[in-house]
Amino acid sequence: MIEKKDLRLQDIGEFALLERLAETLGSAGRGAGKGVIRGIGDDAAVLQNSPGTRLLACCDMMIEGKHFDLSYFSPWQLGWKSLAINLSDIAAMGGRPRWALISMGLRPDLRVSFVEEIYAGIAELAERFGVTIVGGDTCSSAEQLVIDVCLLGEAYRTEVSYRSAASEGDLILVTGKIGSAAAGLAYMREDAKDDLKIEGLDELLRAHLEPVPRIEEAAVLTKSGLVGAMNDLSDGLASELHEIAQASGCGARIWADRLPISPATILMADQTGADPQHWALFGGEDYELLLTIPGGKGSPLKARKLGRSLMKKTGTPLNFIGRILPASYSVEIVQPDEKIEPLGAKGYDHFK
Amino acid sequence: MIEKKDLRLQDIGEFALLERLAETLGSAGRGAGKGVIRGIGDDAAVLQNSPGTRLLACCDMMIEGKHFDLSYFSPWQLGWKSLAINLSDIAAMGGRPRWALISMGLRPDLRVSFVEEIYAGIAELAERFGVTIVGGDTCSSAEQLVIDVCLLGEAYRTEVSYRSAASEGDLILVTGKIGSAAAGLAYMREDAKDDLKIEGLDELLRAHLEPVPRIEEAAVLTKSGLVGAMNDLSDGLASELHEIAQASGCGARIWADRLPISPATILMADQTGADPQHWALFGGEDYELLLTIPGGKGSPLKARKLGRSLMKKTGTPLNFIGRILPASYSVEIVQPDEKIEPLGAKGYDHFK
């Protein structure tokens, strides 16, 4: 007899797996009162959005060996992150997340408990932000584990923040700490990690493995009525700032010494000979928000006030790191020695 | 210098690829006047559904080696089919398809023109049924090619057809021919295919490689006001009939000699020693519609009238193949010799 904990997908088959996963989802799979007229279990989900809202839709795929390595990702974390990166996109649009569809390609020899753990991670995050899992597709993949989440959200017209909405003179702000996810990844990939002493290491690991999407922060920021453009930092600060500048037809300048880099990231960089600024600018996978607010007289004061309000309501800091410039400028960074350098986009390229 | 046709993804990188794919999509990627406030190019798409409608959402993933084999699928067909199988789900709900998000995992050594062909197949089908591609994710996959499409549609409340809506006495109908996709797949996998002579072979190959989703047929059927339950036949007639019976708390009986199997399928079965009825019942991947209409006096006549109307408007036949029975019955099939046999679900199981 096979021990329950050693059951593999091939032992129980697709239909028994789907039943178990529905159980694992618990209330995150049940949509009563959450705009779900029919969730999992028909050819398509039937949903009802709030009157007057616009629908937001995004998807993000995670592939084993590229986006994650099972030697340091637990299945629970994998589930959590697969939803978190999509929640981050909805946050960056100023929206409220509502419904998700989960597609998974799984090796038949995976343990059933492993897949249940993935779903437990999804369920916990879904529950936290009021998301219902309304559908998906579960199929076999001979080689790699693949998870693709499609997330639907909604926002009123005036709440939506496009990346094209930055204007000359705007202040550039960023939530949280940047570079932490890259520092955490560097730690996990470090052969000599036992020799390192990083106070606050846990914060770096969580930034990579269990990022908390800035849904609550986006709600506070959006409610202030000040947000112009907004992006999440999935591709790194430099790349996302280029996207805002390009979409808005502007230039941008940030100050290196204003980048909010955590002490743990600096320790990690010091002990491995890495450059923390490089992680902060190009590392990516920091699921923080990059946004602009109107410039003009008194705007730095407004930024500080907004920061205090955000800290009070969510515990997340907000930092003023730069300014939107006229279109005649490119994207640049002022180094601590006051030297102005062009800032390349250099985001992560999947194929190079 | 690399010849243009030999360019690989790793030569041009992700950002140049995305630009080329946007060009390939053409008008299928532009949503002016189609409820698309912002399509590809921000953290999430911003959409506006028609007032009073319900939102339909589904996703279906195709993985190389499991759902398709590049030895017989052209990239164009792969793109076409990845959208077609989702359109089929929206059709089965009685809905109108509107917006799609495409996630792809691609090997860096794939030719750029190969990926453009995938998108050309998607674009052609999207255009045909008025779907706009509003987002997605393109990333690298070391081993297998993966495509996951999330499709959004809409329908008014009274148009939605749930699989739970069958009632005792209802007539069971099916569109088109069944078993064709399985026969086509068997042909492509046949080593001795050069020895076969199959008139109408093209119809079988197209059923597997380039299925035309029954969007127009679903619209005609829905408009008749007669549709009770409706499913598409992606998992095979037996499996889908079980789902309708189970969801509706009913039994069902179909007659073997009423199953609409095309002459080409019978030829293919004859020449390879296969059972055409088995393909029709368990083969799956026939993107036809299985539906019920109310029974009672004169209902077979109504079914014939509906069939004539469907044929006239779409060229697709509609066949009356069985009846919904009380819950005390299971799902059964009446063989040509009048023997009644239980019909197992035996759908495709991904993990067994």
Taking only the tens place, the pLDDT of each residue in A276-291 is 999 999 999 999 999 9
pLDDT of A338: 95
pTM of the model: 0.96
Structure tokens at A319: 């930092």
pLDDT of A66: 86
Cβ pair A44:B58 closer than 8 A: yes
Contacts of A41 in chain B (CB under 8 A): 247
What CATH class is the domain B4-159? alpha beta
Provide the pLDDT confidence category of residue A10 given band limits of 50, 70 and 90. Answer: very high
Q: Measured between alpha carbons, how far is residue B216 from residues B56, B83, B260 in Å? A: 17, 15, 20
Structure tokens at A74: 């637990």
Residue that is written with structure tokens 């049924």 in the block: B129
pLDDT of A31: 82
User: Percent helix, strand, coil in chain A (nearest 5)?
Assistant: 40, 25, 35
Compute the distance between CA of residue A174 and CA of residue A161 in angstroms, rounded to an integer.
15
A123 touches chain B (CB under 8 A): no
Q: What average pLDDT score do residues A72-78 get?
A: 96
Q: Measured between alpha carbons, how far is residue A175 from residues A292, A318, B64, B149, B171 in Å? A: 11, 4, 40, 32, 60
pLDDT of A2: 58
Domain with CATH 3.30.1330.10 in chain A: 4-159
Interface of B with A in 149-168 (CB under 8 A): 150-153, 155, 160, 162-164
A299 phi, psi to nearest 5 deg: -70, -35
Cβ pair B45:A37 closer than 8 A: no
Ranges of residues in chain B with a pLDDT under 70 are 1-4, 347-349
Cβ pair B63:A13 closer than 8 A: no
Residues in a beta bridge with B36: B47
Fold observed for domain B171-342: Phosphoribosyl-aminoimidazole Synthetase; Chain A, domain 2 (3.90.650)
- The answer to whether B201 and B264 have CB atoms below 8 angstroms apart is yes
Out of A41, A57, A141, the one facing B63 most closely (by C-beta) is A141
Question: Rounded to a whole number, what is the distance in angstroms from the first to the last CA of chain B?
Answer: 48
Complex-level ipTM: 0.95
What count of CB pairs under 8 Å joins A to B? Answer: 244
pLDDT of B325: 98
Name the 3-class secondary structure at A219: helix
pLDDT digits (tens, 9 = 90+) for A216-259: 999 999 999 999 999 999 999 999 999 999 999 999 999 999 99
Give residue B60's identity as a one-letter amino acid code.
D
Contacts of B48 in chain A (CB under 8 A): 54-55
Contacts of B61 in chain A (CB under 8 A): 103-105, 137, 139, 146, 148
Test the B interface: residue of A145, A148, A244 with most B CBs within 10 Å = A148
The burial class, CB within 10 Å (0-12 / 13-18 / 19+), for B312 is exposed
Contacts of A15 in chain B (CB under 8 A): 349
The whole-chain average pLDDT of chain A stands at 95
Provide the pLDDT confidence category of residue A347 given band limits of 50, 70 and 90. Answer: low
Residue that is written with structure tokens 């618990």 in the block: A26
pLDDT of A120: 97
pLDDT of A286: 95
Q: Measured between alpha carbons, how far is residue A43 from residues A18, B151, B171, B234 in Å? A: 15, 11, 20, 10
Q: Looking at chain A, which residue has its C-alpha nearest residue B90?
A: A44
Cβ pair B63:A352 closer than 8 A: no
Contacts of B349 in chain A (CB under 8 A): 13-15
pLDDT of B204: 98
pLDDT value at A208 more than 90: yes
pLDDT of B115: 96
Out of A65, A106, A148, the one facing B142 most closely (by C-beta) is A65
pLDDT of B31: 82
Look at A202-211, A321-330, B337-346 and tell me which has the smallest mean pLDDT: B337-346
**Kind and range of the H or E run holding B113:** helix B112-128
Domain with CATH 3.90.650.10 in chain B: 171-342
Residue that is written with structure tokens 């990926």 in the block: B115
Q: Rounded to a whole number, what is the distance in Å from the CA of B161 to chain A's nearest CA? A: 10
Structure tokens at B197: 């002579």
pLDDT value at A139 more than 80: yes
Compute the distance between CA of residue B331 and CA of residue B338 in angstroms, rounded to an integer.
15
Cβ pair A44:B17 closer than 8 A: no
Compute the distance between CA of residue B43 and CA of residue B179 in angstroms, rounded to an integer.
42
Q: What average pLDDT score do residues A112-123 get?
A: 97
Compute the distance between CA of residue B318 and CA of residue A259 in angstroms, rounded to an integer.
66
Provide the pLDDT confidence category of residue A348 given band limits of 50, 70 and 90. Answer: low
B16 touches chain A (CB under 8 A): no
Cβ pair A144:B142 closer than 8 A: yes
Cβ pair A146:B105 closer than 8 A: yes
Interface of B with A in 265-324 (CB under 8 A): none
**Kind and range of the H or E run holding B12:** helix B9-25
Residue that is written with structure tokens 């792809």 in the block: B104
Percentage of chain A lying above the pLDDT 90 cut? 91
Look at A27-36, A317-326, B232-241, B290-299 and tell me which has the smallest mean pLDDT: A27-36
Residues in a beta bridge with B73: none
Q: Measured between alpha carbons, how far is residue A121 from residues A125, A213, B300 in Å? A: 7, 14, 51
Cβ pair A150:B59 closer than 8 A: yes
The burial class, CB within 10 Å (0-12 / 13-18 / 19+), for A66 is middle
Q: Measured between alpha carbons, how far is residue A264 from residues A189, A197, A202, A260, A282 in Å? A: 16, 10, 9, 12, 18
Give chain B's count of helices (H) and strands (E): 10, 13
